[in-house]
Amino acid sequence: MTDATSEKKSTLAELINKFALREGIGETNIPSLFFIHHTSTYGPVHRVYKPSVCIIVQGEKEILLGQERFLYGPNHYLVASVDLPVSGQILEASGSAPYLAMKLEFTPAEIMEVIEEAAIQFVSGDDSKRGMYVNEIEAPILDVAVRLTSLLEKPEDISVLAPLIKKEILYRVLQGKHGSALAQMAVQGSYTQRIRYVIDHIRNHYDHSFRIEELAEIAGMSVSSLHRHFKEVTAMSPIQFQKQIRLQEARQLLLYEDADTTDAALQVGYESVSQFSREYARMYGFPPRTDVNRLKEDWMESVEE
């Protein structure tokens, strides 16, 4: 690590510390930019990662996508190119050295705009690309990240400069070692883009059953090709993907809308409450009601502290 790179990381850490409004993840005044601040290890937490670039400047995090493990810290950044259900936990954090990170979300249209304006050439090829990857952080990306977060100190500049700097970050990521994996989600006709359409369909209709032939038709693929490419992008099958979405949504209903186990199961599409309870316990380690009570107790203890 060069002195210049170390200095940029220190500057970025200071900005996140200054503008992170609370413990955990929080929005900033820059659209689609989030800061994450934790003073203790945390997780595992199950959530859906939206397309985003995540840069850690202090601490370490582990992400599980299906059975695949992504470990990254201050020398790397993580990219999610499509919506992906994951579990994540913060492995290194303390009061004196909190976990500090920034996340910049983006859309396929924004990626395509950069590709077209910069005339970046990518070959779609016959293979789909994993929808998540970790890459070594490069000095140009750190530099742009600092310039973007520094706008928080000059809010009058955000509306004009933030979109331009965001575009530059996406350009730098596209030019990185695994940039083609990000590009494929936006390039017309690529396998990854076609799988993204299937992901969007499952996300929007997770509470409905589907036939695999329907998904294959959406993707314009045979059933066998759909299975292969879907697993390559998401590290799981379409059914496993839907199950994770359903269980995450059910947990939200149980936690924040005080739904009972039966209501939560039916609302997310389960026909059998016992099957729902079994799969919930398998994913979260506890039956639904036990899990919710445990989480609420943990939350109350943290508030009292």
User: Over the stretch 63-117, which tens digit does the pLDDT of each residue have?
Assistant: 999 999 999 999 899 999 999 999 999 999 999 999 999 999 999 999 999 999 9
Q: How far is CA 250 from CA 87, 201, 208, 284, 289, in A?
A: 16, 18, 14, 12, 11
User: Over the stretch 182-200, which tens digit does the pLDDT of each residue have?
Assistant: 998 888 889 999 999 999 9
With a cut of 50, say whether residue 304 has pLDDT above it: no
User: 73, 57, 54: which is closest to 8 by C-alpha?
Assistant: 57
Cβ neighbours for 200, distance < 8 A, ≥ 6 positions apart: 83
Q: Where in the chain is the domain with CATH 1.10.10.60?
A: 241-304
What pLDDT is stored for residue 199 in this prediction?
98
CATH topology of domain 241-304: Arc Repressor Mutant, subunit A (1.10.10)
Q: Where in the chain is the domain with CATH 2.60.120.280?
A: 3-183
State whether CATH 3.30.1540.20 applies to domain 3-183.
Answer: no
State the pTM of this model. 0.92
| 225-237 b/e (C-beta count within 10 Å ≥ 16 → b) | ebbebbbbbbbbe
